[in-house]
Structure 1
């Protein structure tokens, strides 16, 4: 599918507990709630949000981006509890990289694994991908565990691959191929 058209007409994806949908400007309060959590921001390249204005800037950046970006809505309470997206998509090589974030209030419940499995399926069927990658900071054991549970395979560690919060970080690279999903 054409990248611009897909982004324009981003479908809703439904799982047992989640609705993966386009981010909206009225998601700001929910997003601020989890983006202001220090533990949530510990392994990403941005700092915990200090004000709703930080979240407004972040949300506007997401809305303006030309990427496949889903909000994770918990169906039980219709609350936005995180995001999952394709941070890069190379159509020529039929590969993409996913990234995700989830409110600490929903950790260790299998929710992000559920979302990743839906996104992987979407990538292989709708986006016609052959390969999907994900990375995490080396000591982010929770995220690494999620990638394994989603069926991804460890490929190696990218040394000093990301400079964030004043220092270089090693990133672990995981991937899954279409015929492995």
Structure 2
């Protein structure tokens, strides 16, 4: 059985109608800084907003190192209409033995409420089930992050419960809401979508 890591050499480039999902490069630093420096973008994230472009360069260097080492790094979300990097989405945890992975994502505030992140998550979930042969995809969000919860629900994920005092972020232990989708549910969702 192939490991998830084996599918990221070469890095898989994916597409949707409006989005190109591809590796992040040093050319993306300015675009990334534009959205990572907005406090609202990082409000519910585990990381703080970027206070200088050096913060963003440091993160991009970290990403490039991941590409070189374990090969599983984030997809850059490129908006096709402008060729601008507007966010990222990645497997933040995975378990090859149990055939599951967890997704994390971030998107520029300029592109909120347009269905773009739902498009991205749905495409990556399809890839995970069809190409990686995973059985379960999870995602978590802060209990007050209604936008992220909505993305998970629109992508076909089901709410499983609140994990209390689950993650250390920004100086405190925080609760998170847990969502998931299993491969059979994606097939059911696609059949429903085709019938609409």
**TM-score interval, smaller chain:** over 0.9
Asked whether 1:13 is paired with 2:18, we answer no
CA deviations over 1:50-81 (Å, ceiling 9, x no partner): 11100011111112123242000000000000
Distance in 2 (CA, whole Å) between partners of 1:38 and 1:68 is: 24
Asked whether 1:97 is paired with 2:98, we answer no
Structure 2 residue ranges without an equivalent (≥5): 187-196
Asked whether 1:24 is paired with 2:25, we answer yes
CA deviations over 1:12-40 (Å, ceiling 9, x no partner): 11101000111112111111111001000
1:10 to partner: Cα distance = 1.4
Alpha-carbon contact 1:138-1:169 (below 8 Å) kept: no
Give the structure-2-normalised TM-score. 0.89
Match of 1:72 among 49, 72, 77: 77
Structure 1 residue ranges without an equivalent (≥5): none
CA deviations over 1:73-123 (Å, ceiling 9, x no partner): 000000000000011121111000000000000000000000000000010
Distance in 2 (CA, whole Å) between partners of 1:167 and 1:5 is: 36
Match of 1:43 in 2: 44
Considering fraction of residues, name the structure with more strand: 1
- Determine helix, strand or coil for the equivalent of 1:32: helix
Give the structure-1-normalised TM-score. 0.97
User: For residues 11-160 of structure 1, what are the structure 2 equivalents within 5 Å?
Assistant: 11-65=12-66, 66=70, 67-160=72-165
Output the aligned Cα RMSD.
1.0
Larger Rg: 2
